[in-house]
Chains A and B, each alone.
Chain A
Amino acid sequence: MFTDFFYLLRKKGVPVTVTEWVSFIEALYDGYFQASLNHLYYVGRAFLVKSEAYYDMFDQAFQEYFGGIKTEGPELDKVLDWLENPLHKLPKMTPEEIAEFQQQLEQFRKEHNMDELMKQFMERLKEQKERHDGGGKWIGTGGTSPFGAYGNHPGGIRVGGESWMQSAAKVAEERRFRNYRNDIILDVRQTKMALKKLRELKREGAQEELDIDETIDKTAKEGGEIELVFNRSRENTVRIILLMDTGGSMLPYTELCERLFSAASQMEHFKEFKYFFFHNCIYQDVYEDIGNYKRIPTEKLFSQFHKGYKVVLVGDARMAYSELFDVNGCIDYFSTNDKPGIEWFMKIKQHFPNSVWLNPTHKNFWGHYTVDTIGKVFPMFELTLDGLKDAIKALTSKARPSVLS
Chain B
Amino acid sequence: MVTGQGYKGSEDYIASKPLMEIVNVSVALGKPLVIKGEPGTGKTLLAHSISTALNKKLLIWNVKSTTKAKDGLYVYDTVQRLNDARFKDKDISDIRQYIKMGKLGQAFKSDEQLVLLIDEIDKADVEFPNDLLNELDEMSFHIPELDEEVSAIHRPVVIITSNSEKELPDAFLRRCVFHYIEFPDEEMMEKIVKVHYPDIENKLLREAIKRFYWIRDVDGLRKKPSTSELIDWIKALLLGGISTDKISSEIPFLGAILKNEQDTGRFIKLSHAQGGGFGFKRRF
> Is A50 a contact of B79 with CB atoms below 8 Å?
no
Within 8 Å of chain B (Cβ to Cβ): is A368?
no
* Stretch from B27-35, B139-147, B201-209 forming part of the interface with A: B27-35
Contacts of B126 in A (CB 8 A): 193
CB-defined contacts of A115 to chain B, threshold 8 Å: 282
Say if the beta carbon of B21 comes within 8 Å of chain A. Answer: yes
**Contact-size category for B:** 35 or more
Q: A23 to chain B: which residues have CB within 8 Å?
A: 29, 31
Proximity bits, A256-275, B CB within 8 Å = 1, else 0: 00000000001010000000
Question: Is the CB–CB distance between A52 and B36 below 8 Å?
Answer: yes
Q: Which of B106-114, B170-178, B187-195 contacts A (4 or more CB under 8 A)?
A: B170-178
The residues of A that contact B25 with a CB separation of less than 8 Å are 27, 32-33, 43, 46
> Contacts A52-B36, A109-B278 hold; do A32 and B28 have CB atoms under 8 A apart?
yes
Q: B83 an interface residue at 8 Å Cβ cutoff?
A: yes
- Residue B272 interfacial (CB < 8 Å): no
Contacting chain B: which of A14-22, A307-315, A320-328, A393-401? A14-22
Q: Residues 163-174 of chain B: 1 if any A CB is under 8 Å from the residue's CB, otherwise 0?
A: 011111010011
Contact of B179 among A15, A20, A46 (CB under 8 A): A46
B276, A52: Cβ atoms closer than 8 Å:
no
A42 B21 Cβ-Cβ under 8 A: yes
Interface string of A1-45 (1 = CB under 8 A from B): 000000000000001010110010001000111100011001100
A34-75 vs B: 1/0 string, CB under 8 Å?
Answer: 100011001100110111100100000000000000000000
B174 touches A20 (CB 8 A): yes
A50/B166 in contact, CB under 8 A: no
A129 contacts partner chain B, Cβ-Cβ < 8 Å: no
Smallest CB gap from B86: residue in A: A226
Q: Does A118 count as interface, using CB distance less than 8 angstroms?
A: yes
Bound: A208/B21 CA distance, A? 48
User: Which of A132-140, A184-192, A199-207, A343-351 binds B?
Assistant: A184-192
Instruction: Assess whether B65 is interfacial by the CB under 8 Å rule.
Output: yes
Digit string of B1-29 for contact with A (CB within 8 Å is 1, else 0)?
Answer: 11100000000000001100110011011
Chain A residues with CB under 8 Å of B34's CB are 50
Residues of A contacting B174 in the complex (Cβ-Cβ under 8 angstroms): 17, 19-20, 50
Q: Does A234 contact B (CB under 8 A)?
A: no
Known: A31-B1, A39-B21. A49 touches B282 (CB 8 A): no
Among A42, A109, A210, A228, max chain B CB count under 10 A is at: A42
Asked if A226 meets B83 with Cβ closer than 8 Å, knowing A27-B29, A46-B178, the reply is yes
Could you tell me if B165 and A122 are in contact, using CB atoms closer than 8 angstroms?
no
Least CB distance, A228 to chain B, in whole angstroms: 8
Residues of A close to B168: CB separation below 8 A = 50
Residues on B with beta carbons closer than 8 Å to the beta carbon of A39: 21
| In contact, B180 and A52 (Cβ under 8 angstroms) | yes
Contacts of A226 in B (CB 8 A): 82-83, 85-86
With both chains docked as a complex, state the minimum distance between the C-beta of A74 and any C-beta of chain B, in angstroms.
17
Q: Does any Cβ of B come within 8 Å of A362's Cβ?
A: no
Give min CB distance, A114 to chain B, whole Å. 6
* Cβ contact within 8 Å between B180 and A210: no
Contacts of B18 in A (CB 8 A): 38, 42-43
Contacts of B255 in A (CB 8 A): none
Interface membership of A225, Cβ < 8 A = yes
Cβ of A300 within 8 Å of any chain B Cβ, yes or no, is no
Q: Which of A15, A32, A49, A119 contacts B2 (CB 8 A)?
A: A32
Known contacts A50-B34, A118-B282, A122-B284; A188/B3 CB under 8 A: no
Chain A residues within an 8 Å CB radius of B40: none
Which of B29, B33, B167, B278 is close to A51, meaning CB atoms less than 8 Å apart?
A: B167
Q: Which residues of A contact B22 (CB under 8 A)?
A: 42-43, 46
Q: List 17 A-B contacts (CB under 8 A).
A: A27-B29, A34-B21, A42-B18, A46-B25, A46-B26, A46-B177, A46-B179, A50-B170, A51-B36, A52-B164, A118-B284, A119-B284, A169-B278, A187-B167, A189-B166, A190-B167, A226-B83
Beyond A109-B278, A114-B277, A188-B165, list 18 extra A-B contacts (CB 8 Å): A17-B174, A23-B29, A32-B25, A32-B28, A46-B26, A46-B33, A51-B173, A118-B284, A119-B284, A122-B284, A169-B278, A170-B282, A189-B165, A189-B166, A190-B167, A226-B82, A226-B86, A268-B65
Q: Interface residues, chain A, CB within 8 Å of chain B?
A: 15, 17, 19-20, 23, 27, 31-34, 38-39, 42-43, 46-47, 49-52, 55, 109, 114-115, 118-119, 122, 169-170, 180, 187-190, 192-193, 210, 224-226, 228, 266, 268
The 7 closest A-B pairs by CB, nearest first: A42-B18, A50-B173, A52-B180, A189-B166, A46-B22, A50-B178, A189-B167
Q: Which residues of B contact A (CB under 8 A)?
A: 1-3, 17-18, 21-22, 25-26, 28-29, 31, 33-34, 36, 65, 79, 82-83, 85-86, 126, 164-168, 170, 173-180, 276-278, 282, 284
